[in-house]
Amino acid sequence: MTIAMGGWLERFLGRGAASVTVPPLDGALKPNSLLEEAQPGFTVAAPDNLALLGGAPVWSSGAQLLKLAGDKPSPFATLQSDVTALACSDAGLIAVACEKHGIAVLDHDGKPAITALRDGGKYACATALAFANNDTLLVCIGSTDNPLSAWQRDLLEQHRAGQLLRIDLKSGEVRQLANKLAFPNGVLADKDGSIIVSESWATRLIRLGPDGRMRAQLIEDLPGYPARLARAARGGYWLTVFAPRSPLIEFVLREPKYRRAMMAEVAPENWIAPALQSGLSFHEPMQGGALKQMGILKPWAPTRSYGLVVEVNENFVPVRSLHSRAGGRRHGITSAVESGGRLWLTSKGGDEVVTINL
C-alpha cells in the first residue's frame, strides 16, 4: 500500500522516479564538434562492430566483414545474415554473431574455424562479443524477448531481459553468467578477470566478477545509452554512446498507456524513441521546433540522435569526449577502437567509418 501510494505520489509531484530529468552534458562531456569536424572517413552502409585484428581495424556492414586494403575498405567475408556483434582474439580468430544464424568463429581470412556454435534463435540479439582469452568468448545478449533490429521496442516496452554468457570454444559449453540485464550492449574482459558490461537501458557501466556476480557500478546515470567499450592507449577505455537521452523520451518512458498506443498506431521509425539518425523525414516527432532557423538546426536543439564517444580513465571517470551534435551527420556511434594514435569509430547512423588523430 505504502509503495503504491509512494509511486502515485511521486507521479503526482513529479519527484523521484517520476521526475523527468536528464543529466547535463557538462564537465568532460561538454559538447564540442570534434567528431563532426574530423576528416572525411570511409562511407560504408551502417558500419558497426569495430575490432582490432592483428592491430588493424575490421568492422561489419550488414552481412559483410570489412578491413582496409591499402587506403580503401574491402570486404573479406560475407555472412548469411546481418552481423550484430564481432570480436577478434589475440590468436587471430574472429567471432561473429549474426541476427538469424547465431555465432560463428572464423579465422583471420574470414573462413569458418569452429562451426558448432550456431544457434540463430538464441543469439538473435547478440549485441557484443569479447574474448576473455583465446578459448573463452563472452557474449552479451541484449534481450531474449526481441531481436536486435527491434531495440527501440525493447526500450519502450522496458524489458530487462539481457544476458551475459560465457562460451568455452573448445568444449562448446555455454554458461549464463548474468541475466535480467537492461540491454547489455558492450562487454570487455578486464585484466583482473572481471567483466565490464554496459547496460544501455540502465544507462550505466557495471563490473561483474568472473562468476557473473555484481561487483560494482562503475558509471551511472549517463546522459545517453552506452554501447561498446574498447581499451584506450592512455590506460582507460573508450565508451561509445549510441543515442542521447532526452526529457521527451524520458517522459514517454514513464507513460505506459501512451507508449502502447504509439507502438500500435505509429510506424517504428517515427516513434518517440532514441534513434541512430534523425531529421530525415517530416513525419518524425518534432525535435528542432523553433530551433531550426534558416534551414539549419541549432546544435543545442533537442534531438533523437547524437554522436558521442567518451574516454574514461582507469577509474571510469570521464576525461574527454568527442561529439557530433544535433543537426550533425556522424550520429549513432556504436563502436570504437584505438590503434596507432588514431581513434576509429563507426557512425552507424551516419553510414561512415571515422578516424581521428588523437
Closer CB to other proteins, 150 or 248, in the complex: 248
Helix (H) or strand (E) holding 251: helix 247-253
Rg (CA), the chain: 20
Which set of grid coordinates corresponds to residue 65?
566483414
Smallest separation, CB 203 to other proteins (Å): 11
Closest approach, Cβ 186 to other proteins, in A, equals 20
* Strand pairing category for 307-312 and 47-53: unpaired
Contact 87, 51 (CB under 8 A): yes
Q: Which is nearer to other proteins, 245 or 331 (CB)?
A: 245
Q: How many CB atoms lie within 10 A of CB 235?
A: 8
Region for 256 from its dihedrals, namely left if φ exceeds 0, alpha if ψ lies in -120 to 50, beta otherwise? alpha
Smaller CB separation from other proteins, 34 or 56: 34
Task: Decide if 105 contacts 92 (C-beta within 8 A).
Answer: no
Minimum separation from the CB atom of position 293 to other proteins (A): 17
Taking the least distance from each CB to other proteins, the nearer of 211 and 221 is 221
CA-CA distance, 342 to 161, in Å (whole number)?
Answer: 36
- State whether residue 142 is helix, strand or coil: coil
Find the shortest distance in angstroms from Cβ 250 to other proteins.
Answer: 10
Task: Select 30 or 180, whichever has its Cβ closest to other proteins.
Answer: 30
User: Number of C-alpha atoms within 13 angstroms, CB side, residue 146?
Assistant: 17
Could you give the 3-state DSSP secondary structure of residue 155? Answer: helix
Minimum distance between the CB of residue 247 and other proteins, rounded to whole angstroms?
A: 7
* Backbone CA torsion sign across 37, 231, 151, 255: negative
> Closest CB to other proteins among 168 and 220?
220
Residue partners of 170: CB distance under 8 A and separation at least 6: 135
Which of 18/174 has CB closer to other proteins? Answer: 18
Least distance CB 300 / other proteins (angstroms): 11
Shortest reach from residue 30's CB to other proteins, in Å = 6
Interface residues toward other proteins, by CB under 8 A: 13-16, 19-24, 26-28, 30, 217, 220-221, 247, 315, 317-319
